[in-house]
Amino acid sequence: MKEDILEQLVEDWLVSEPGWFVKHNIKFRPSRRCKDYDSKRDSVHSDIDVLAISGCETGPARVKVVTCKSWQGGFDPRKTQRILEGEATYNDRSEQFQKREEWKYYRELVSQKWLSAFIDKVESETGQRDFIYCIAVTRLRGKPSDREELEKSEILRTRFLEAGSQMTLKLMPLEEIVQSLLSRQAEKLTTVLECTDIGRLLQLLNAAGIRLESNRTIGS
């Protein structure tokens, strides 16, 4: 059973699309042979929340790697861009409580040793080093231009290119996932039952006359 409901929604959405196959919670960590390996900091695994591979697509679009951030307060692209384009520095050792370093929520995008281990794991699972990296979020904060600037970050793209990987960053708000499923269901010619949990839920809500609508503006 998957712990994060957003992971379940993302997985259901992906497998409802033609040709996609999904794995989840795939563990990885830096190699002990890495010159910067630190057993006290690098021995605990991180994991890929959702890894999807398409039997129909080619090139980088054939593989989607999804990290899920189901934060109730929403996702701030500007703040995240500042974190991701920064350096992976650790807190100084202290007896006083310190908040977790923010870059650790995205260590495979910021720390070079974690990035290398991440790419190697994606390649071992899919056979390629090029992919789309998606950040699935409950909702987006800020302006539409903030999203675009983060998705087009040249610093992130260059980090991956230097590691021999072509990475395209995409943000994936829950609203867009649900609207995609609703649009596909509306275009169906028959009322055959959906094959995923989220698909069936939306189908039942529709049958009950419950309509999901959004008039929210970004940042609200």
Number of domains in the chain: 1
Model confidence at 93: pLDDT above 80: no
pLDDT in tens, 139-164: 999 999 999 999 999 999 999 999 99
Classify residue 200: in a domain, yes or no.
no
Classify residue 211: in a domain, yes or no.
no
Q: Which domain holds residue 169?
A: 5-176
Model confidence at 131: pLDDT above 90: yes
Classify residue 190: in a domain, yes or no.
no
Model confidence at 1: pLDDT above 50: no
Classify residue 13: in a domain, yes or no.
yes
Classify residue 160: in a domain, yes or no.
yes
Classify residue 219: in a domain, yes or no.
no
Classify residue 112: in a domain, yes or no.
yes
Predicted TM-score of the model (pTM): 0.86
pLDDT in tens, 189-219: 567 777 677 777 887 877 788 877 655 544 4
Classify residue 183: in a domain, yes or no.
no
Q: What is the 3-state secondary structure (H, E, C) of the chain?
A: CCCCHHHHHHHHHHHCCCCEEEEEEEEECCCCCCCCCCHHHHCCCEEEEEEEEECCCCHHHHEEEEEEECCCCCECHHHHHHHHCCCCCCCCCCCCCCCCCHHHHHHHHHCHHHHHHHHHHHHHHHCCCCEEEEEEECCECCCHHHHHHHHCCHHHHHHHHHCCCCEEEEEEEHHHHHHHHHHHHHHCCCCCCCCCHHHHHHHHHHHCCCCCCCCCCCCC
Model confidence at 9: pLDDT above 50: yes
